[in-house]
Chain A
């Protein structure tokens, strides 16, 4: 297969994936919207009729899986078209990031019964892919010399996977805060009845962060080892390095707050959101408007 046709195939696969994520988005939206209707006679929340939305919910999950199954080869063929790992510019980071994010969701979906999170996940993946194909798209091209290193595969994949899981933890922490606000005012809205208890959400976001924090640490260290080989120093406070450090310190603070001091609930969720937003800031702001050595040709 020629490089060009691989790139074309990759584009088409990504469009197909977007179609299925859109379908998943609508299905999840229907699921959330329909579960609002309570059976007319009973006001008791325990008698909410969720069975009517069960089918569309399952369908939504199926769409998410199909979307993932299109996105995965989309990313792979992008790599094949350039004869390298598919993360040489921001378009490629974005599609791989979306892939990592939806993989993290599908993994957690099975393990922690996370179908309720499908709506925000579908929206995030769609937004990421949408921005990627419209604003960030660059033709498939070879790498600049500084990126030609086996560390590209190691450092960037670890960073992307960590990012996917951090953002998932962020979605859960945000959900926590929203539901917490409702519960403080009284009861949860009906659509949120099916969502897990606050305690479960709190634990879940913590567990995701604790799971992936060593990987993020590894990603930063792998970056340092690579920087030593390419730039002559292992740490130089380049803006991207600085923000990677800030993210690391923020999550370290979160883990200490939770494990050692025993923060739970609202405070922990805010700290989790704060740490996650430093990651997003690094990804978006520093890549697009930042200076320094991590800015590569045309994003």
Chain B
């Protein structure tokens, strides 16, 4: 029997500890501290390549850091524990207060205390008419409890309203983040200018779904990239503007409409948005076999390595025997220096060069292990040539030939569905509103009591200034009236 009681009182004690302000404060500070490693170590969610690099450079420490989730800080158990405890503490604190506050809305201010002289700003003045005081305070939107010999007036309930609104909005934001990650999807697709993208899972290079998001729930639009313009500053080489023109239909097959997508101007289909996230070049090559038959003819997207779009990539020809692979660099405006070798000196295509090293052997495409499309595993291959090609130049590498015939631009479309973001926005707006109301509303009480003379006193919550002047004004006004 007593153990049951003990358990219950222990749980109650725990709950009281958790919902106490001191605990909340400690959790808040812990949350701030726990976020720090997320900015110091590379995070998988943002920069998986940097994480891999970290592993390559410090393999032993990296394993330990990984065990502590330091590469996934914001989804780690300890970070989640802190914010979940914080939110439980917040709800445990705010819900009872909300109920109390709702009850208090209709209630009158508390009774006038017996000894006003112990309160702040106590003054004694000549007797004044309580009716006039009441009228004066009502005009100033005080709530009033009028007793026979006293008035108890209070103003500033909105402070608590704002405070509660703010905290409840934070809960809404947390829920919105949850909705987004459980019901959303996010994917990337690289599309060459001139190509068509149909929104099905197989069209993506990378695609991830939330836990409760079905794979067939993608909106059925199609999108043809008709033009991509990039404008650069000729002095600094920095990009000034990107403009992507597409013909799009929703659902695919219906009438196509021309749309422009820019960096700050995504295309939206419901809660799904299509973003222009990156761009680069796809050199076009024709590969022929020994007999001169065309085996491959088309663009291959290369990955930009720097601001001037020096790009690297791989052209894989598994249909030749032996298999052929080209490890290449594409330089839109070729330049040379003795240390770096070939590099690009401007991001636009002014003097293009395609550098290829040619490998023959086994491309390793049938091993079942997924491979990067930008790299070739050359462990089972032999290098048979190295060549820098200018436009329309051919090179014969014995097993066949390669001709560099042109280039296309490619764009990286990021397609994101976040059904939670509307709630997050509403939550954020309400949070600011609540914050403003609670920080700029002054809650205070004024009491006026008749006992021979008239006693006036007040109380300002949190010692917020301004009450003294208010009482002075009241006293002055009442004294002048007579």
Contacts and interface: CB of A to CB of B under 8 A. Distances in A.
Interface of A: 141-146, 148-149, 151, 210-211, 213-214, 217-218, 221, 224-226, 228-239, 242-243, 245-246, 249-250, 252-253, 256-257, 259-261, 278, 286, 290-292, 297
B61 interface: no
29 contacts: A141-B238, A145-B240, A145-B242, A145-B262, A148-B263, A148-B264, A211-B439, A214-B439, A221-B428, A221-B431, A230-B264, A232-B266, A232-B416, A234-B421, A234-B424, A236-B45, A237-B45, A237-B46, A237-B73, A238-B46, A242-B36, A242-B38, A245-B32, A246-B32, A249-B35, A253-B32, A256-B28, A261-B21, A261-B25
Interface string B380-422: 0000000000000000000000000000000000101010010
Contacts of B74: 237
B114 interface: no
Interface residues of B, number: 53
A217 B435 contact: yes
A146 B263 contact: yes
A77 B55 CA distance: 48
Interface in B4-36: 21-22, 24-25, 28-29, 31-32, 35-36
B25 A256 contact: yes
A143 B25 CA distance: 41
Interface string B23-62: 0110011011001101100110111001000000000000
Given A214-B435, A221-B428, A232-B416, A250 B32 contact: yes
Contacts of A237: 38-39, 43, 45-46, 73-74
A236 B31 contact: no
B264 A142 contact: no
B345 interface: no
A232 B233 contact: no
A242 B266 CA distance: 25
B21 A290 contact: no
A245 B266 CA distance: 26
B379 interface: no
A221 to B, nearest CB: 4
Contacts, number: 122
Contact of B432 (A142, A218, A229, A260): A218
B480 interface: no
A142 B233 CA distance: 8
Contacts of B307: 297
Nearest to B177: A235
A92 to B, nearest CB: 15
A239 B39 contact: yes
B306 to A, nearest CB: 12
A217 B29 contact: no
Given A213-B435, A250-B29, 14 more contacts: A141-B233, A141-B238, A142-B233, A144-B240, A149-B264, A210-B439, A214-B435, A218-B432, A221-B428, A221-B432, A229-B265, A245-B35, A253-B25, A256-B28
A253 B32 CA distance: 9
B428 A232 contact: no
A250 B429 CA distance: 21
A142 B416 CA distance: 29
* Prevailing SS type, chain A contact patch: helix
B186 interface: yes
Contacts of B31: 249
B378 interface: no
Contact of A243 (B39, B177, B186): B39
Contact of A230 (B22, B38, B263): B263
B262 A278 contact: no
B236 interface: yes
B343 interface: no
Contacts of A213: 435, 439
A244 to B, nearest CB: 10
Q: Which among A145, A218, A252 has the highest number of chain B CB atoms within 10 Å?
A: A145
B87 interface: no
A148 B42 CA distance: 27
Contacts of A253: 25, 28-29, 32
A151 B432 CA distance: 17
A186 to B, nearest CB: 28
Nearest to A247: B32
A261 B29 CA distance: 15
Q: Which 7 A-B pairs have the closest CB atoms?
A: A239-B39, A145-B263, A253-B28, A242-B39, A149-B264, A249-B32, A232-B275
B273 interface: yes
B82 to A, nearest CB: 11
B294 interface: no
A232 B186 contact: yes
A235 B236 CA distance: 30
A259 B462 contact: yes
A286 B36 CA distance: 12
B24 A229 contact: no
Nearest to B265: A229
A231 B382 CA distance: 42
Contacts of A290: 39
A241 to B, nearest CB: 9
